[in-house]
Amino acid sequence: MAEHCAPTFDQLAHSLGFSCDSAGGLIEVRNPFALENWTLPVLETTVILGSVLALVLAIVRLRRHGDPTNLVLWFGATAYLFIIEPPLYFPAAFGISGHVDTMFAHNVFTVDFLWGRLPLYIVAIYPFMATLAYEIVRMLGVFRTHGAVIGAACVGFVHHAFYEIFDQIGPQLRWWEWSTSNSLNQPMFDSVPLPSVVVFAALWPMSLAFCVYWFVGRHEDRGDRFSGIQLVWRTIVIGLLASLGTFILPLPATVLGAGSTTVRGTIYALELVAVTIVAIPTLYRRWASLRREGPSGSAYTNDFVRGYSVVYLVVMAVLWLTALPDFLDATHGRTRDGDPIGNPWYTLACFALAIVCTAGVLTLPKGSATTRAVEMSEFRDVSG
């Protein structure tokens, strides 16, 4: 695939320590102890394990309760990945190189696909993060109470908080590198493009969550059941429409901000503010309402998400703490090794919000003894 090695990708790859010639083939497996630094295998282990366990939980829920929501969410997020990402890796192969240049390059990890473009952990992070965010909002009963639009906005908000903890540290630890000369990545928010902060951290999971609830979740709430064929086509449609939503939702910034980086950045920020204004009071009111109402036999809980949210936050906290000396020693936004640093205050705010969301579902009233027994049985199945 050397013929599809764009100059920008080649430049980014060399800055990360590899080249198109050494990027491997369709699939490449490497020694995890020979990667760029020790944080890469820690990151991929955390994400891949979480994604696999989320998939197991989804299968268990479908088999035991006939609830396909988690499974459709998992595969819908994966379908979205394979629709969105390949054109970004090989714009020439998709005939869009005249409009889209390489936006970023991932470093090489233990398992890579597509000639070093797609690490396995990136395949895993889409359904993993989507599951954490969707299930936190679902446990708070937002979808059932407020419907698809408000529920989706809350999922986008929660996903954004969890994702930006990871997004803001990635460039410093050489997990990937952005092309800062690409106009699609402008304006930059320290080491991260603001379009990524808004679109990929908040708007795409919002689009996915809306589609999942509209096509499956609301029917599940009514007790409807689907055949295998119905689930397959709904999952494919969810992936396609979620991709379309990722194009539609940023349109105000794309259209009104054409020709002005400042205007585009301002509109992106306003879209994120709008999601936040909707989500924070909604999530708090639902949590407070459930705390007042006390235990409910019909309450939905997900002990895997409750537990693994804590695992994810602890791992990310450790990674941030170990990166802190270089971060604090950075000058002009770069470490001594020349790696760009993220925004500390934004990261702290996202950490705080993610911790509050996790604490919120951990402090919900326990359901009935029967409900708790079923949930704990599922959790034991998932955790082995």
CB 66 within 8 A of CB 225: yes
CB neighbourhood size of 281 (10 A): 10
Three-class DSSP category at 213: helix
Tokens of 257: 């901000």
Q: Quick one: pLDDT at residue 297?
A: 56
Q: Quick one: pLDDT at residue 371?
A: 44
Q: Quick one: pLDDT at residue 370?
A: 37
Mean pLDDT value across the chain:
91
- List, run by run, the mean pLDDT of 10-residue segments along the chain (384 residues): 75 89 86 96 98 96 92 96 88 79 92 93 97 97 96 98 97 95 92 95 97 94 89 94 93 90 95 98 96 74 95 98 96 94 97 98 72 50 53
Tokens of 147: 């419907």
Q: Quick one: pLDDT at residue 302?
A: 93
What is the gyration radius of the CA atoms in the chain, in angstroms? 21
Q: Quick one: pLDDT at residue 93?
A: 80
Domain boundaries, the chain: 37-92+120-383
Give the span between the Cα atoms of 190 and 188, in whole angstroms.
6
Of 150, 164, 116, 126, give the one whose Cα is nearest residue 243. 126
Give the span between the Cα atoms of 261 and 188, in whole angstroms.
10
How far apart are the two ends of the chain, measured CA to CA in Å?
40
Residue written as token pair 């929660």: 158
Instruction: Provide the edge-to-edge strand list for the sheet that holds 27-29.
Output: 27-29, 111-113, 118-119
Q: Quick one: pLDDT at residue 163?
A: 98
Tokens of 125: 């992070």
Q: Quick one: pLDDT at residue 37?
A: 95
Q: Quick one: pLDDT at residue 357?
A: 97
Q: Model pTM?
A: 0.93
Give per-residue pLDDT as tens, 286-328: 999 999 887 665 678 999 999 999 999 999 999 999 999 999 9
Give the span between the Cα atoms of 225 and 218, in whole angstroms.
11
CB neighbourhood size of 332 (10 A): 6
Three-class DSSP category at 227: coil
Residue written as token pair 């299968």: 59
Of 295, 268, 289, give the one whose Cα is nearest residue 372. 295
Of 45, 46, 206, 56, give the one whose Cα is nearest residue 134. 206
CB 283 within 8 A of CB 151: no
Give per-residue pLDDT as tens, 333-352: 999 999 999 999 999 999 99
Max Cα–Cα distance, the chain, nearest Å: 62
